[in-house]
Chain A
Amino acid sequence: MENKRLFFGFDVACPWPERLPPGRLLAEPDRHLTLAFLGSGDEEKLSADLSVFSGLPFSIGLSAIFDHPLFLPRKSPRVAAWRIHWLEGGELFSRFQHGFVDWLRERGWEPKGVRDEFLPHVTIARKPFGILQWKEAFRKQPLFIRDFCLYESLGGLRYRACWRCPVLAPFDEIEHTADIAFIVRGTSIQNLFLHAQTALSFHFPQLLDYFSFGEVGSLEGIVEALNRMIGKADAEIGSPFKAVSYHGNLKGMEILEWEMIVDV
């Protein structure tokens, strides 16, 4: 059997900065959130086990913020990473992580390096790097997690997904001739509101400081709240958005969908 380095994790979507400090950078598509490291193992058995995997406890990828740089392991850092602060489903994710490790163990797998307290993060670079430079360059960024994958490490900071459990994106940017537009998804009006804000922050991460977690009860309420946020941000720091338009209707039952058009 080949000695493969296998691990489970999530694809991550983020408006990655064009410029990062020096270091051995992971390519954007290779940046992921590791959940459990397996090392090598019997792939046929793993495939059989995964065929009965019951799925994820969420159908739409969770939104979060990279809120802090991390240098791991702390005593003698080998990687520069960004910490994840969940905007939704933090406890749910934590329960899933623990439950998934148990699920693996029940099937005879022993994930390595599992700690009681899981620290969600994404590795951006490996050493050599300058900690001070990375600290100074760090800016908050929005993200959401996408497909749950079994990855194989190919070496040279490259990874390949050999199995995936798909997750809907909280939003997709779509074509619009003059402005920018998104299909935003949510499990509720409130959830749709969060994902609409996340979509905007992918174009303008500084908007993260203006996120609103107040109650909204309707699509028009979402549009008004988004526009209040844009207005406040524009008054204080400037905004590339003029406004979100009163466009579109809610579609769907379990998963709500809305076509959001943003005047720029």
Chain B
Amino acid sequence: MSELELLHPATYLLPKRGGMRVPGLVIANEGLLKEIEIDRPLEQVRNVAELPGIVGYSIAMPDIHWGYGFPIGGVAAMDAETGVISPGGVGYDINCGVRLALFDQPFEAIRERDRDALLKALFERIPSGVGHGHGGERSLSDADYRALLEEGAGWSVKQGYGYPEDLERMESHGKIEGASLDAVSRLARDRGRLQLGSIGSGNHFVEIGAVQKIYDSQTASKWSVFEGQTYILIHSGSRGFGHQICQDTLDLFMKKGFAEGLPDRQLVAAPIQSEEGRTYFTAMAAAANFAFNNRQQILAGVRGAFRDVLRSDPRKVRLLYDVCHNIAKFEEHMWEGKKRKLCVHRKGATRAYGKGAKELSELFQETGQPVLVPGDMGRASHLMAGLGNPLTWSSACHGAGRARSRVKSMDAWKGRDIIEHLLAQGVSVLASSKRTIAEEMPDAYKDVDSVVEATQQARLAQMVARLKPGLVVKG
């Protein structure tokens, strides 16, 4: 940590040493650096800096923690011609992401008995937990797979899960180009067949709560976000389909010897322009499109629950935005005065395009894109607006980041009534497994407020609103 040199507010340089091709860049403030276990993740930042074709910096977000090869909360951009693509730079849960929807009634206006009914309806409608959870009666055929991979989230909209305008409110309009089922193994297809529209286990969730505080009233107003408003936050990814695609690729890359010479074999990476590199991108895009459909169908479940319990028009649950936080994408960025085509790996990091970015819809071109930062189920989540910071390839944080291991969290809460404890804090939770709740208790996470403050201090994204959960469905 003593090696870090302060460049700008909340922005530190990790100087080059050994085999590092570029320096590291760490987004954090002093408080976070004191709190977090930084040595192991920083070693991973250094390792990533050794990858061929890396441009600029090996970047760590303020929610960084130790991950598979790359740190979680890591960003690395590779030259699209000469660089490599690494499954460890995307993560197992390809296109794990978050979407935020808004309901135009204040949360306080929903009667307590309706809130209880809403939570129950969400739990019943949306499969959660391992595998296909308690739903999963619908199985995807290969024809379904081909269509959904080609069309992205538009496929689910065509199937009746949502509305065409939803697609305008998603990163890349809910579709990564270039996906193909031919690059996906039979086992990956089998893992995903019953899992579309399900939350999964671990840190994934659906939460409903109130917009607690507005920081940027101008942006909030443009996004029709107001204090007290009911919000819905969905966190899930590509489920077993994406996990298997990652695993298949790692197995192949290992066998091909792509890990040789790397400081950590979990960074195994193929040249982007090699057959293996292209195949991975194709399969990764397939998983990304699966994930967009997954979150679209979960949102349809949420809308159904609101309709059943509150008798509201499903369109009144309005999607604000959907972001990926485990993905590699081809993007154009300026570097050293030149426009460069880069493959930007964001693992536990969110794209944070600023005002005027061409990919964004008209509304978000005016404000910067929404950046969604889930915290923990007790304290808060945040809504931010991207500032398009070129130092991080327009990237920002993705969450609070774990501070305590699952084992420690389990031990800390053993024998205590965690449901009652959360209820006392105003949070009702339903989960397929009590163990998941214990592992995911608020004190297992860093304080998300500190993470977003550092993100704002570093000028990656601007705080717009703080969201306070009230109802949570966990896996």
Interface residues of A (CB under 8 A from B): 18, 173-180, 204, 220, 224, 227-228, 231-232, 234-235, 237-240, 242-243, 245-247, 261, 263-264
Contact = CB atoms under 8 A, between A and B. Distances in A.
A220 B254 contact: yes
Interface in B102-152: 129-133
Nearest to A173: B407
Contact of B266 (A176, A178, A224, A247): A247
Contact of A175 (B195, B201, B408): B408
Contacts of A220: 254
Contacts of B250: 246
B213 interface: no
B247 A237 contact: no
Interface stretch (B12-20, B64-72, B162-170): B64-72
Interface in B183-197: 187, 190-191, 193, 195
Contact of A238 (B92, B132, B405): B132
A177 B66 contact: yes
A231 B202 contact: no
B360 to A, nearest CB: 31
Interface stretch (B225-233, B238-246, B331-339, B450-458): B238-246
B93 A242 contact: yes
13 contacts: A176-B405, A178-B65, A178-B66, A234-B244, A235-B240, A238-B130, A238-B131, A239-B240, A242-B243, A245-B266, A246-B250, A247-B68, A263-B92
A231 B244 contact: yes
Contact of A246 (B67, B131, B254, B408): B254
Contacts of A227: 247, 251
Contacts of A178: 65-67, 72, 402
A145 B265 CA distance: 35
Given A240-B202, A246-B265, A263-B68, A231 B187 contact: yes
Interface string B56-94: 000000000111100010000000000000000000110
Contacts of A177: 37, 65-66, 402-405
Nearest to B69: A245
Interface residues of B, number: 40
B131 A243 contact: no
B187 A232 contact: yes
B355 interface: no
Contacts of B93: 242
B258 to A, nearest CB: 12
B434 interface: yes
Contacts of A232: 187
Nearest to A249: B265
Given A173-B407, A234-B240, A238-B133, A264 B191 contact: no
B307 interface: no
A235 B187 contact: yes
B131 A239 contact: yes
Contacts of A239: 130-131, 240
A180 B68 contact: no
Contacts of B92: 242-243, 263
A231 B191 contact: yes
Nearest to B127: A238
A50 B37 CA distance: 47
A179 B439 CA distance: 11
Given A18-B434, A175-B405, A177-B405, A238 B68 contact: no
A234 B247 CA distance: 13
A246 B66 CA distance: 15
Interface in B26-59: 37
A228 B185 CA distance: 12
Contacts of A231: 187, 191, 240, 244, 247
Contacts of B37: 177
A245 B68 contact: yes
B406 interface: yes
Sort A-B residue pairs by CB-CB distance and give the 8 closest, nearest first: A238-B131, A238-B130, A235-B190, A242-B243, A242-B92, A234-B240, A175-B405, A235-B191
Contacts of B132: 238
A176 B68 CA distance: 12
B246 A204 contact: no
Contacts of A237: 130-131
A243 to B, nearest CB: 5
Given A178-B72, A240-B201, A243-B92, A234 B434 contact: no
B266 A246 contact: yes
Most buried by A among B129, B246, B247: B247
Nearest to B186: A235
Given A177-B403, A242-B92, 4 more contacts: A173-B407, A234-B244, A237-B130, A246-B254
A196 to B, nearest CB: 16
Interface in B282-301: none
A245 B72 CA distance: 15
B193 to A, nearest CB: 7
A13 B67 CA distance: 29
A220 B252 CA distance: 12
Contacts of B67: 178
Contact of B406 (A18, A180, A243): A180
A240 B130 contact: yes
A179 B268 CA distance: 20
A220 B270 CA distance: 19
Nearest to B195: A238
Most buried by B among A220, A228, A231, A239: A231
Interface in B260-314: 265-266, 268
Contact of B202 (A224, A234, A264): A264
B252 to A, nearest CB: 11
Contacts of A246: 250, 254, 259, 265-266, 268
A239 B92 CA distance: 14
Contacts of A173: 407
A241 to B, nearest CB: 9
Given A177-B37, A239-B131, A240-B201, A234 B403 contact: no
Nearest to B136: A238
A205 to B, nearest CB: 12
B428 to A, nearest CB: 21
A242 B90 CA distance: 14
A243 B243 contact: yes
